[in-house]
Amino acid sequence: MPAPLTTRFAPSPNGSLHLGHAYAAIVAHDRAMQDGGRFLLRIEDIDGMRSRAELADEFRADLEWLGLTFEEVPAQSTRLTSYREAAQNLRAMGLLYPCRCTRAEVAAAATLQGPDGPIYPGTCLRNPPLASADPVWRLDVEQAAELCGSLTWFDERRGPQAARPAMLGDVVIWRRDAPASYHLAATLDDAADGVTVVTRGADLFAATHIHRLLQVLLGLPEPRWHHHGLLAGADGRKLAKRRDAPSLADRRRAGEDGRALAYALRHTRFDTGVSLDESLDLLP
Ligand code: GLU
């Protein structure tokens, strides 16, 4: 029997959820239900410095309040061994290099801006740093892409895509503080959790190019993707965790009807003060 269609909602517990997250969760939930599939909740608490354990309970309560049934899979903080092993594999393949540049140094030296900020200019690839206690490890994207040849991936809403992993530059794979990067952790987890349709906002469209490359390098199965539009506030900007009050938890505690809110979001009845913008953060 083929694996059931499986989607996930993967929030980071560094701030309360807002309407944009509610919309993301609803899209992922409904996509799975449409096919009689599974909808997973994964707490992305890889960033030990910024994650707050109590928010995971808040997120569960928010989803229930919206009327969404989910299965929870282990949080990222319990999966560090798999991240370490994968990073070691990539390193053994000669595809990671140590980097000691600070964010400020990268910003000052970069000549290209990518969708997520300055593109790493390859300083430490050209001039390997002297032994450093605690470097970050970056993926040599050019070499990795050469090894894999041309790759494609499929977005359910935008059709076939040619992978352009160089778009984000030599991304960090292993961090000093977190420890694994979002790219490595999310790619491994989606495979381990049996996710068949990676459903998330269009602001992560560019990340998919690098995730596709990592899947091939690490021998992981290829899912499909579903990048949905983003909710914009009255100022036309994407909603942000801290900027746009109130949070889902505020609304829930104030006695608002979560299922009615979910209905409004599903039917894009944005008397909620937000609108759906399909173009926000989407690359050409
Ligand atoms: N943890 C990410 C966030 O909260 C989501 C990552 C993803 O859906 O791939 O923005």
Is 96 a pocket residue for ligand 1 (Cβ < 6 Å)?
no
Give the ligand 1 atom nearest the CA of 21. Answer: 4
What CATH number did the domain enclosing 121 receive? 3.90.800
Residue 28 in domain: yes
Is 204 a pocket residue for ligand 1 (Cβ < 6 Å)?
yes
Considering the domain architecture, whether residues 72 and 133 belong to the same structural domain is answered as no
Is 170 a pocket residue for ligand 1 (Cβ < 6 Å)?
no
Given a cut of 70, is residue 281 above it in pLDDT? no
Is 18 a pocket residue for ligand 1 (Cβ < 6 Å)?
no
Residue 218 in domain: no
Considering the domain architecture, whether residues 41 and 104 belong to the same structural domain is answered as no
Look up residue 234 and give its two tokens. 């009255």
Is 44 a pocket residue for ligand 1 (Cβ < 6 Å)?
yes
User: Tokens 């490359």 identify what position?
Assistant: 213
Q: What is the pLDDT of residue 174?
A: 94
Centre of ligand 1 from the C-alpha of residue 10, in Å? 5
Q: What is the pLDDT of residue 282?
A: 63
* Burial zone of 154 (CB within 10 Å; 0-12 exposed, 13-18 middle, 19+ buried): middle
Is 21 a pocket residue for ligand 1 (Cβ < 6 Å)?
no
Are 171 and 181 spatial neighbours (Cβ–Cβ below 8 Å)?
A: yes
Considering the domain architecture, whether residues 166 and 40 belong to the same structural domain is answered as no
What CATH number did the domain enclosing 44 receive? 3.40.50.620
Residue 1 in domain: no
Given a cut of 90, is residue 243 above it in pLDDT? no
More confident residue, 276 or 216: 216
Is 123 a pocket residue for ligand 1 (Cβ < 6 Å)?
no
Looking only at the bridges linking them, the beta strands covering 230-232 and 224-228 are unpaired
Residue 113 in domain: yes
| Ligand 1 pocket test target in 200, 209, 212, 281 with most atoms within 8 Å of CB | 200
Given a cut of 90, is residue 156 above it in pLDDT? yes
Centre of ligand 1 from the C-alpha of residue 11, in Å? 5
Nearest CA to ligand 1 atom 3: 11
Is 11 a pocket residue for ligand 1 (Cβ < 6 Å)?
yes
Residue-number span of the structural domain to which 255 is assigned? 6-78+192-211+225-280
Given a cut of 90, is residue 246 above it in pLDDT? no
More confident residue, 115 or 182: 182
Considering the domain architecture, whether residues 100 and 43 belong to the same structural domain is answered as no
**% of the chain residues with pLDDT over 70:** 93
Considering the domain architecture, whether residues 179 and 203 belong to the same structural domain is answered as no
Q: What is the pLDDT of residue 232?
A: 83
Residue 85 in domain: no
Considering the domain architecture, whether residues 119 and 241 belong to the same structural domain is answered as no
Considering the domain architecture, whether residues 175 and 143 belong to the same structural domain is answered as yes
Considering the domain architecture, whether residues 206 and 270 belong to the same structural domain is answered as yes
User: Tokens 């459903």 identify what position?
Assistant: 199
Residue 86 in domain: no
Centre of ligand 1 from the C-alpha of residue 12, in Å? 7
Domain count, the chain: 2
Look up the pTM and report it: 0.93
> What's the pLDDT band for 132 if we cut at 50, 70, 90?
low
Considering the domain architecture, whether residues 38 and 71 belong to the same structural domain is answered as yes
Average pLDDT over residues 242-247: 70
Q: What is the pLDDT of residue 74?
A: 98
Considering the domain architecture, whether residues 31 and 73 belong to the same structural domain is answered as yes
Centre of ligand 1 from the C-alpha of residue 236, in Å? 21
Which residues are CB-contacts of 29 (< 8 A; sequence separation ≥ 6)?
7, 9, 39, 68, 69, 70
Look up residue 14 and give its two tokens. 């560094």
Residue 235 in domain: yes
Task: Write the pLDDT tens digit of every residue in 64-85.
Answer: 999 999 999 999 999 999 999 9
More confident residue, 233 or 16: 16
Considering the domain architecture, whether residues 58 and 102 belong to the same structural domain is answered as no
Considering the domain architecture, whether residues 99 and 153 belong to the same structural domain is answered as yes
Is 186 a pocket residue for ligand 1 (Cβ < 6 Å)?
yes
Query: What strands lie across the sheet with 6-9, from one edge to the other?
Result: 6-9, 38-42, 71-73
